[in-house]
Amino acid sequence: MDFYFGLAQTVGIHTLLGLSAYIVLLTGQVSLAQAAFFAIGAYSAGMLTVLAGWHVVPALGVGSMLGAVTACAVGFPALRVKGLMLVVATLAFGEGVRLFFFNFDYQVAKGGIRVGPLGGEGFRQIRFFQEHGWTTGEVMLFIWVFVIAVMALLWWFDRSRYGAVLRSVGEDEVAAQSVGINLTAVKLSAMTVGGAIAGAGGGLYAHYTTHIEHANFNVLLATFAIAYPIVGGLRTVFGTLAAVIFVQAFLVEGLRFLGDWRNLLFGALIILAMNLRPHGLFGRHGA
């Protein structure tokens, strides 16, 4: 049973990561910085519970807020550029953050052992759940409370005026601007909400793996973040969830019996999926 709880935890955390990219993609922006906000949430929440002895919930709140603040700060200069330029700008920012954590040491002695982030060695022993005796099932439920809350929020956004505004910017910027929508404000707000979601997801990730290091937050994770909503389609939040289940449960876990060949099939299936369903598995039909 623990195996399925573990899988549900992974799916939950990746769903949060995918949803953080989903809201940014709605405005037509491709951001490869989501892994960076995820990393910021992971390191800050981990440091708060391990070094400052906080409870995990306020620590996640701070991680999420730091993700949002960073996203807002990056969004300002980065959203001046479009298309490929934005992809590269956010990619560079993400790599910059990763390299920052690669060079980041902040350790304190606690009960005879030194804890905290240690550059390339990573940040070990984020054991809040273990120290407080949470079972795998409880951790899974805790993660899914966040996932469901975020999905409900985004689902409600989609049905509100705000969602219509986001999509109108994504469909046609000139038309949106001509009816009086402030493009920068809309994109920046989407970026900030995305940063908050990624920050919370990162905090959960740090506590569930107990060991994070800079290499976890590389370009590959950033591409996965945008891959989920793109593969799932941008019509609803459930597309992202379906894509995460498709990738994590089917491609990663379900094909494990194929051994080495699984990784080969992985890339090929993504190519095939995009050729057959260019608007995503659950996107609109036709052009």
Partner 1 sequence: MLDFLQTLSDGVLFGATYALIGIGFTLVFGVMHKINMAYAAASVGGAYAGLLVLKAVAVVPAWMVFLGAFLAGGMLGWLVYVTCFHFIPLSSPLAPLMSTVGMLLLIDEVIVHLTAGMPQNYPAMFDDVMLRFGEFTLRGDLLLVFGISVLAMIGLLALLYRSRLGLATRAVAQQPIAAQLCGIRVTRVNALTFVIAGLLGGLAGALIGASVGALSPLLTTPLTVKGLVVTVIGGLGSIPGAIVAGLLVGGFENLFQQFRGVTERDMYVMLLLFAFLVFRPGGLFPAKS
Angle subtended by helix axes 83-102 and 34-50, to nearest 10: 30
Question: Minimum Å distance from CB 120 to partner 1?
Answer: 7
Cα–Cα dist 21/18, whole Å = 5
Cα–Cα dist 40/276, whole Å = 36
Beta bridge partners of 108: 115
Start-to-end Cα distance in the chain: 43
Please identify, using beta-carbon distances, which residue of 6 and 283 lies nearer to partner 1.
283
The footprint of partner 1 (CB under 8 A) covers 25, 30, 77-78, 80-81, 83-85, 87-89, 91-93, 95-96, 99-100, 102-103, 119-120, 218-220, 223, 226-227, 230-231, 260, 263-264, 266-271, 274-275, 278-279, 287
Please identify, using beta-carbon distances, which residue of 32 and 45 lies nearer to partner 1.
32
Question: Minimum Å distance from CB 121 to partner 1?
Answer: 12
Please identify, using beta-carbon distances, which residue of 81 and 108 lies nearer to partner 1.
81
Cα–Cα dist 129/211, whole Å = 13
Question: Minimum Å distance from CB 118 to partner 1?
Answer: 13
- The H-assigned helical ranges of the chain are 2-26, 34-50, 56-78, 83-102, 128-131, 136-159, 161-171, 173-178, 183-209, 219-232, 237-244, 261-276
**CA atoms within 13 Å, Cβ hemisphere of 162:** 14
Q: Is the CB of residue 255 less than 8 Å from the CB of residue 262?
A: yes
Cα–Cα dist 31/144, whole Å = 25
Please identify, using beta-carbon distances, which residue of 80 and 114 lies nearer to partner 1.
80
Question: Minimum Å distance from CB 29 to partner 1?
Answer: 11
Cα–Cα dist 43/104, whole Å = 10
Report in angstroms the alpha-carbon separations of 61 from 44, 158, 205: 10, 24, 14
Question: Minimum Å distance from CB 68 to partner 1?
Answer: 20
Please identify, using beta-carbon distances, which residue of 142 and 217 lies nearer to partner 1.
217
Please identify, using beta-carbon distances, which residue of 28 and 195 lies nearer to partner 1.
28
Question: Minimum Å distance from CB 99 to partner 1?
Answer: 4
Q: Is the CB of residue 58 less than 8 Å from the CB of residue 47?
A: no
Question: Minimum Å distance from CB 116 to partner 1?
Answer: 18
Please identify, using beta-carbon distances, which residue of 58 and 267 lies nearer to partner 1.
267
Question: Minimum Å distance from CB 3 to partner 1?
Answer: 25
Phi/psi for 105 (5° steps) reads -115, 130
Please identify, using beta-carbon distances, which residue of 57 and 81 lies nearer to partner 1.
81
